[in-house]
Every structure is written in structure tokens, then in C-alpha cells.
């Protein structure tokens, strides 16, 4: 298989911080692509071992979920969850609580997966059954989490802000400032 077929490059989100909800959605696209890369990496490791292509892919997954994903969760915890909790709708409160629980579960799953990916990045083959289980758990916790945020939490939070351009601008500026 060619490199472009097995591990296509990941692209940066198309939205900017001047559109904070679009940026959050674009980050979800990146999460999905990184999870797909993780799945292809596990398949590649079974067939070809921890070769240079696998090491590069492991570094890409590590980089995204070590650096960008935690900032994204902080964005949600600072800007989306408080809007949901301010709602009078019980479903919004439940979604906020579930998001927080999911973030904790994602951190826990990452703690299992990260050292295994680091082994691959270092050119070593980890225990494959352990890697497969950790990668599956990590992917599973993301699936419903992303759906909840995309289909309910983000639209609800965006609706609560409405046409308040100043609030949207402040949200985007804060998100960008934490990344500088």
C-alpha cells in the first residue's frame, strides 16, 4: 500500500477563531480523522510492524491528542458547558454533565493508549492486544461524545448566544489567546 493510501495527511481546520462554533466543529473533523488514522495504524502494525510509516502515524496521533484535543476540551468546558448549565432545559443540563463525564473518560482512555503509541513512535511494537483494546476504547468513547456535541450541545449553546456578536468575539479571542 502506498503511503498516501494508508496514512493520508491531516489538514488544519478551515474555520478561524472569529467563528468559534465553526472552529469547534472543525476540531471534531480533525478528531475523526485522527481516530481513523489510529485505526489504520493498528491495522498497519499488524501487517508491517513499527516501520517508519507507523512511527510517523503514531507521532501524528500523539501530537493531536496530546496538544490540540486538551485545548478543545477546555474550550468546551469554558464556553459550551456553562451555556448549557445556564439553560432552563433539563436535557441541556444532562448534556453538560455527560460532556464532563466523557472528558474524564477520554482522559482515562488516553492515559492507557498514549504510552503504547509512544512505543510505536520510538520504533517498538507494543503488545498488540493491549494496543487494539486501548485504541478501541478510545474510539468508542469519542463516537457518542462527538455526536452529542455536534447534534445537541453546540447548537444549544450557539442558540443561547444568539446574535450576540460581542460574546462570540470574546469566546473566539479567549480560545485563540490560550493557544498562543
- Quote the pLDDT of residue 9: 37
Specify the fold of 15-178: 1.20.120
Q: Answer yes or no: are the C-beta atoms of 138 and 110 closer than 8 Å.
A: yes
| pLDDT of the residue at 14 | 61
Which pLDDT score, from 0 to 100, does residue 7 have?
Answer: 32
The dihedral sign for the CA sequence 7, 63, 18, 91:
positive
- pLDDT single digits (tens) 23-60: 999 999 999 999 999 999 999 999 999 999 999 999 99
The Cα–Cα gap between 150 and 165 comes to 21
User: 44-47 long-range CB contacts below 8 Å, 24 or more apart?
Assistant: 44/6, 44/7, 45/120, 45/125, 45/128, 45/131, 46/128
* pLDDT (tens digit per residue) in 55-76: 999 999 999 999 999 999 999 9
DSSP code of residue 17: T
- Output the CA–CA distances (angstroms, integers) from residue 85 to 22, 111, 121, 156, in the order listed: 21, 28, 40, 11
Q: What residues contact 22, with CB distance under 8 A and at least 6 apart?
A: 15
Band of pLDDT at residue 180, cut at 50, 70 and 90: confident
For the question of whether the overall pTM of this predicted structure is more than 0.75, the answer is: yes
Query: Which of these, 110, 106, 129, 114, lies nearest to 45 by C-alpha position?
Result: 129
**Band (18; pLDDT cuts 50, 70, 90):** confident
Q: Nearest CA to 8 among 47, 57, 46, 43?
A: 57
Better-predicted residue by pLDDT, 14 or 6: 14
Predicted local confidence at residue 163, as pLDDT? 83
Q: Give residue 48's pLDDT.
A: 96
pLDDT tens-place string over residues 94-153? 999 999 999 999 999 999 999 999 999 999 999 999 999 999 999 999 999 999 999 999
Cα gap 16→166, rounded to integer Å: 16
**Whether the Cβ atoms of residue 57 and residue 135 lie closer than 8 Å to each other:** no
Mean pLDDT on 86-100: 96
The per-residue pLDDT for 10 is 37
Q: Sign of the C-alpha dihedral, residues 151, 155, 149, 85?
A: negative
Amino acid at each position: 500500500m502506498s503511503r498516501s493510501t494508508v496514512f493520508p495527511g491531516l489538514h488544519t481546520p478551515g474555520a478561524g477563531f472569529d467563528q468559534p462554533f465553526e472552529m469547534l466543529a472543525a476540531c471534531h473533523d480533525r478528531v475523526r480523522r485522527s481516530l481513523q488514522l489510529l485505526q489504520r495504524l493498528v491495522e498497519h502494525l499488524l501487517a508491517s510492524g513499527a516501520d517508519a510509516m507507523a512511527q510517523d502515524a503514531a507521532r501524528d496521533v500523539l501530537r493531536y491528542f496530546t496538544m490540540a484535543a486538551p485545548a478543545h476540551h477546555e474550550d468546551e468546558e469554558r464556553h459550551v458547558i456553562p451555556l448549557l448549565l445556564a439553560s432552563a432545559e433539563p436535557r441541556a443540563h444532562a448534556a453538560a454533565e455527560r460532556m464532563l463525564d466523557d472528558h474524564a473518560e477520554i482522559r482515562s482512555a488516553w492515559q492507557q493508549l498514549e504510552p503504547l503509541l509512544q512505543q510505536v513512535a520510538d520504533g517498538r511494537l507494543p503488545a498488540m492486544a493491549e494496543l487494539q483494546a486501548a485504541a478501541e476504547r478510545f474510539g468508542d468513547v469519542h463516537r457518542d461524545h462527538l455526536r452529542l456535541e455536534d447534534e445537541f450541545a453546540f447548537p444549544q449553546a450557539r442558540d443561547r448566544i444568539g446574535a450576540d456578536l460581542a460574546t462570540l468575539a470574546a469566546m473566539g479571542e479567549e480560545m485563540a489567546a490560550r493557544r498562543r
